[in-house]
Structure 1
Amino acid sequence: MSAPLEDVIVVVEDDPDDRHLLARAFRKLGANVPLRFACDGDEAVALLSEVVSPIGRRMRPVVILLDLKLPRRSGLEVLAWIKEHPSLRRIPVVVLTSSREHADLNKAYDLGANSFLVKPSQPQALHGLIEQVNSYWINCNELSPIAL
């Protein structure tokens, strides 16, 4: 019998300051779902490949927070990769980016993003945004068992 899967929030963010602020915001909220970080697009694909492979699968992402401007593989490329995999495509993907480009917004939704949020410049505003993300995507949203 295999061990139960651990619910996690996957955060794909290359900026160490933003990773720190996001972790701090979730910690202040008392979020009971651990964060797993990927620092670039290739690392995100490697991390999420653990979910795709039935061998050694230990985590179940409840939501993926995805920056767009990433080294190696862009957030849009990661999003396209996620949506190509039946075991990942129903996991909610929330784009969390500093981009206000309409082309990025449209492309993210075309590729299947569930939400597009622009990072606020003030840490307190980011905390408020993460509070809303946590409230909706973690506490209210129902996961599709097919995606797991």
Structure 2
Amino acid sequence: MNVTRKGEKVEIIGAQPEVGAKAPDFSLGNLNDEVVNLSDFTGTPVLISVVPDIDTRICSLQTKRFNQEAANVEGVKFITISNNTKEEQANWCAAEGVDMEILHDTEGEFGEAYGLFIPAMGHLARSIFVIDKDGNIVYEVISAEISEEPDYATALEQAKAAR
């Protein structure tokens, strides 16, 4: 699959899971040195916001927006995933006052399972997944232009509907 970055075509390697399929489980570290598994949230809908690099403008905006929404949407677990290091994520969260669950995919487990790695950039593709309480993907979008913000409203509607 190809997307663009500021108009330049880049390739995403791997196959993305489809809507209706069971979401691939993963085990990633959080900022508290705990391992978080997707299966830990069985019974609760999950919105996964994937950003290429937490230290860039659009990724920062996306993460702050979902952090704000997490405080207002009950019954949905919000998670942001990037392949930044734990230290980069922790420094960014401290500077921005963000307290949502942020996971680091520095080994590429999530990127491989969800088919989101862009070798030319060394980052994950900007995307959003909504997983229902039974662990099935009910919404997924990979941004066609990764330097643009995603459609927050649709993702939030899908997350609320999954409750």
TM over 0.5: no
Higher helix share: 1
Which TM-score applies when normalising by structure 2? 0.35
Higher relative contact order (CA 8 A, sep 6+): 2
Which TM-score applies when normalising by structure 1? 0.38
Higher strand share: 2
